[in-house]
Amino acid sequence: MYLSTLAAAVFADGSMSPNPMNPSPMGSMNPGPMTGGSAMPVDGAMSGGMMSMSGPDLLPPLVTWLWLIALAAVLVFHCSHLVRMGGQHRWFHASHILMLVSMLYMYASMEFHWKWLPASLQAIVFGLSTAAILVWMIYRFVQRKPFSYLWILALIMQAAMIYMWLPDWLPVLTWALVVYYGLETIAWLAGLVNDTSGKGAVGPGDRSGFVALAHPSLKANVSMAIMAASMGYMFAAMQLMR
């Protein structure tokens, strides 16, 4: 009689219940095994989810700030060209400014965890800019009016920015873009990207209306190299976080 009364009193206490569906309060103190990595919420390509730091972190605060400063300087440079120039030059620099603003936001998101600009909106914007450049290039080709091959680089850049903001990536494509932008960076720094000689025209027709877009100066080449390198670096950094 004494034992049955004691058992009833013990099992009435919730902290010592033998029911496996009612775990001990101490269970919440068990954090489980440590994974050794970290996770950070990031808007953009990983919008709405968590990015697991399974690989090396290529975006520590110091590196992120260096990219932010470099991209901001390039943005000022291209804005000055946008104001001073007209025609194709203005639209060409406008495409760069669009990319720079988006990349600045992405790098800043890594540091400040911004989420106020939806990734889907950015993908749509770059989808429209990509379509606009492509339609213009086709129109010029049909009208037999050659255009600079730098427009092809601008088209690739806008399309790559669509991919940058998509929620799902293909590793093969991502690393291909890393290699591509690495090579483009080297080409700009080495002065190999230059359409001012007249040999950079694409499409049939009279070359007399051809508009060269390159500015053969060290400052211009470095600015373009920074843009290409920032994209390649971001692709590599975010791929390693997946």
pLDDT tens profile 176-209: 999 999 999 999 999 999 888 767 888 888 887 7
pLDDT score, position 15: 37
pLDDT score, position 199: 77
Per-domain residue ranges of the chain: 58-240
- Name the percent of the chain in helix, strand, coil, to the closest 5: 65, 5, 35
pLDDT score, position 31: 35
Chunked into runs of 10 residues, the chain (242 residues) has average pLDDT values of 38 37 35 34 43 71 96 94 84 95 95 89 97 96 93 97 96 98 97 83 84 86 97 96 82
pLDDT score, position 217: 86
pLDDT score, position 178: 98
Cα distance between residue 202 and residue 235, in whole Å: 29
Handedness of CA 158, 164, 169, 175 (dihedral sign): positive
196 Cβ contact list (under 8 Å, min separation 6): 212, 214, 216
113 Cβ contact list (under 8 Å, min separation 6): 40, 41, 42, 43
pLDDT score, position 63: 96
Which of 69, 94, 68 lies closest to 81 in space, CA to CA? 94
pLDDT score, position 203: 87
pLDDT score, position 95: 95
**C-alpha 23: how far from chain center:** 45
Which of 138, 136, 134 lies closest to 157 in space, CA to CA? 134
Tokens (6 digits) for 238:
């975010």
pLDDT score, position 86: 82
